[in-house]
Amino acid sequence: MIVKNKFSGDQFIELKDTDLPDAKTVLNNAKKAFQEMKELPSFEKYEALMKISKELVNRREEFARIISNEAGKPIKYSRGEARRASITMLFSAEESKRIYGETIPMDVESRGKNRWAFYNRVPIGPVFSVTPFNDPLNLVAHKVGPALAAGNSIVNKPASLTPYSGYKLNELVNNSGLPENAMQTVIGPGGGEVTDYFLKSDEIKKVTFTGGLEGAERLIKKAGIKKYSMELGSNSPVIVWNDADLEIATDAIVDASMESQGQNCIHSQRILIHKDVYNDLSKKLVEGVAKLKVGNPLDDTTDVGPMIAESEAIRVEKEVNSAVKNGAEVLIGGKRDGRFYLPTLVTKVRHDQTLWHNEIFGPVSILQPIQNFEEAITMANDVPYGLQAGIYTHNLDIAMKAVQNLEFGAVLVNDTSDFRVDVMPFGGMKLSGLGREGIRFAIEEMTEIKLAIFRK
């Protein structure tokens, strides 16, 4: 069925379960494709992945409009995502030629005398990936690129609200020269029968998931003993010390707080500001947020679009209203209009409130004064998540202590939490996930070590 998007009138296919092969056929296809993929020489994988990357470059505007239509992401950010997806596939191509092993010195003890050993990395087998709505193209690329580079086949289940970006990427894979069904797409609700079929199958050797904690817990219970990679979000802090450049910090924090309507796992949710600069920075942040344009995501001048669904906007509204009833103060925003929730800054949020403790996943950030470094670290760590954190300071001692004491997978100095280059090891501590993404690191997660020992 052809549908028109309400923002643009763009036409694209509304995918249904009946439009794609049944789950059993897809799994059999994945098994067959893996037998070919694992034998594929590196140069062929490289050439195919490079072709996909170049197609994403050439069709950047097409993919950007699909992203904005599906997810409501402002077009300027969708163009950035399409560009990142092309880079993700480029890095995957490059890393397909660098899957190394090494020799092991067996004679380090007497029983190893006259033995020589080496190991290499081999593909793990068919991979099942589950991807979210907020980056519906690049987060698919982050699963698919490394899986194919490693020599696996992959079945991707995109978010049911944003299936088309991943489906179109699948078309590029199909036309890249890789074996047939190297990548396949299945659709349907995340907790549905289609998803469960792949989770429960012994033929699926690896599950890679980006999403929420509840979804991850349900997934593991269904899938049982398998290899997992999971990126489960966060509640990221940014510490602003009293020697920070406030102009630079303001622009970056406003963007990190409101980009993609805050529907971003490294969204800067809690801004912890030294008391000496709190009043000045708070004023600057409110002024910066006030300048943001809320509207049609396909308008080049739009900064903040609609949330993925009205139910999500209602959820955010309820969490902010609950905090306000318990003493919080809204500095700007705090209102909802259908799927739109206005960019919002709040202060005086109690630390027992869900707005402080949980991931808001919306265009809301908390401003909190801090008295000293110890208080800043305690507050920053006072959540069950630990993906990324930022700190603004020119004091090297403070910066190093922050890196040592913040319980997060990455600490960014003189930057917000909302930064990622797609080669870096990306993942968190505590409930923020298992394993690391980033192309080389994801390939390691999608391969197994095979050791060979020769006796002389």
Residues 385, 235: contact at Cβ < 8 Å? Answer: yes
For residues 66 and 164, the answer to whether their CB atoms sit within 8 Å is yes
State the catalytic residues: 231, 265
